[in-house]
Amino acid sequence: MVTPLRIVQTDRIMDRYRDVLTAAGTHHWTFVSGRTPDEQIAAVRDADVIVAAALPAALARHATRLRLVHVTGAGYDRIPLDVLGPDVRVANTFHHGRSIAEYVLAATIMLARRVPRAESAFRAGEWRSVLTDPAVEPGLTLPGRTVGLIGLGETGTETARLFTALGARVRAVRARPSAPPPPGVPLDWIGGIDDLDELLAASDVVVVTVPLSDATRGLLGAARYRHMRPGALLINVARGPVLDEADTYAALAAGTIAGAALDVWWGHPREGTPPASHDFAALPNVLLTPHAAGHTDDTFRGRARDIAAAVDDLAAGRPLRNLVR
């Protein structure tokens, strides 16, 4: 007989998927998103599992019976691993690859067809097209274009799958270039991060999907942007600091980069910091979104199913998947 576990769920987004999380009807779930710190502390004292996007150290110290922290996404940088007991396991979940890849595709098409400029002008009452303004250049289509991926994980692989299906050529750099290529995805070339300049020079669209680390912080800046083709587009769905903010703004303002879609930023209102210190919103060649590329029902529902399965596995003594500790 499986002993029911006590789970405390703190992520406001996952509150929407309560039906998926609790479908088994076996365990005791407490949803504390939006409750006071004291109420959250009281809830975690007896918790076997905490489900969280972020876990403050002050809260983790009160979870003395804890066996598992299940992150509600891929990143676990906001989980205080040094505070958790040595026997507390930490797992994460994904399911965002296809959703982000579809955003990358949509953003690329919008930038290649100069939709941000046209939409802004149209809102201001200006009808600007190739028919009315000789300065307006025709848009571009995808067949025969080269897409360069910086990173070839779940998101990069799904992005490659979509672009190759529409006739684009895809090249990539990744940390381990000798690893087997993703099955079923035709890639023109795979190199290492040391080959990044070559990738930039060959690409009409550059898509950034690498995790943020000491090695990738500031990976793209003025020196690298000079290698990009005239007319090339930049899509960042990784983390803001992979791009040097000041250099990125300057390259977009000067037209060194023809256009960009920025879904990730250098700050976050949740942490009390502005998304950027430069006025990217004033640039007509930039598509701006609030770190929402992966925010689809498919993403969150898949993550909720993973979390529910992990709770059942823990209760039954089965091995856990996606362990990061």
Query: What tens digit of pLDDT does each residue of 143-169 get?
Result: 999 999 999 999 999 999 999 999 999
Cα 47-49-54 angle, rounded to 5 deg: 105
- The domain spans of the chain are 6-92+297-316, 97-288
pLDDT score at 271: 83
d(CA 116, CA 103): 15
Residue labelled with tokens 């150290």: 57
* pLDDT tens, position by position, 3-14: 899 999 999 999
d(CA 247, CA 254): 10
Residue ranges in the chain whose pLDDT is less than 70: 1
The terminus-to-terminus CA distance of the chain in angstroms comes to: 27
Cite the DSSP H helix spans in the chain.
18-21, 37-44, 57-60, 97-112, 115-123, 154-165, 196-202, 222-225, 245-254, 297-316
d(CA 128, CA 58): 55
CB 108 within 8 A of CB 135: no
Q: Choose the CATH number for 6-92+297-316 among 1.10.510.10, 3.40.1260.10, 3.40.50.720, 1.10.10.10.
A: 3.40.50.720
Of 111, 114, 141, 140, nearest in space to 129 by CA: 114
Phi then psi for residue 210, to 5 deg, are -75, 150
* pLDDT tens, position by position, 244-267: 999 999 999 999 999 999 999 999
* Structure tokens belonging to residue 143: 């067949």
Give the strands of the sheet with 68-71, arranged side by side: 28-31, 6-9, 49-52, 68-71, 89-91
DSSP 179: S
Contacts of 308 (CB under 8 A, 6+ apart): 20, 21, 22, 23, 24
Of 259, 293, 152, 150, nearest in space to 208 by CA: 150
Average pLDDT of the chain? 96
pLDDT score at 34: 93
CB 111 within 8 A of CB 287: yes
What Cα–Cα distance (Å) separates residue 144 from each residue in 48, 165, 212, 233, 295? 53, 12, 31, 15, 30
Other beta carbons within 10 angstroms of residue 169's beta carbon come to 20
What CATH code is assigned to 97-288? 3.40.50.720
pLDDT score at 111: 98
d(CA 158, CA 167): 15
Q: Please check whether the two domains, 6-92+297-316 and 97-288, share a CATH topology.
A: yes
CB 188 within 8 A of CB 169: yes
b/e map 51-89, b = 16+ CB within 10 Å = bbbbbeeebbeebeebbbbbbbbbebeebeeeebeeebb
pLDDT score at 1: 67
Q: Is 252 exposed, middle or buried (0-12, 13-18, 19+ CB in 10 A)?
A: buried
DSSP 180: P
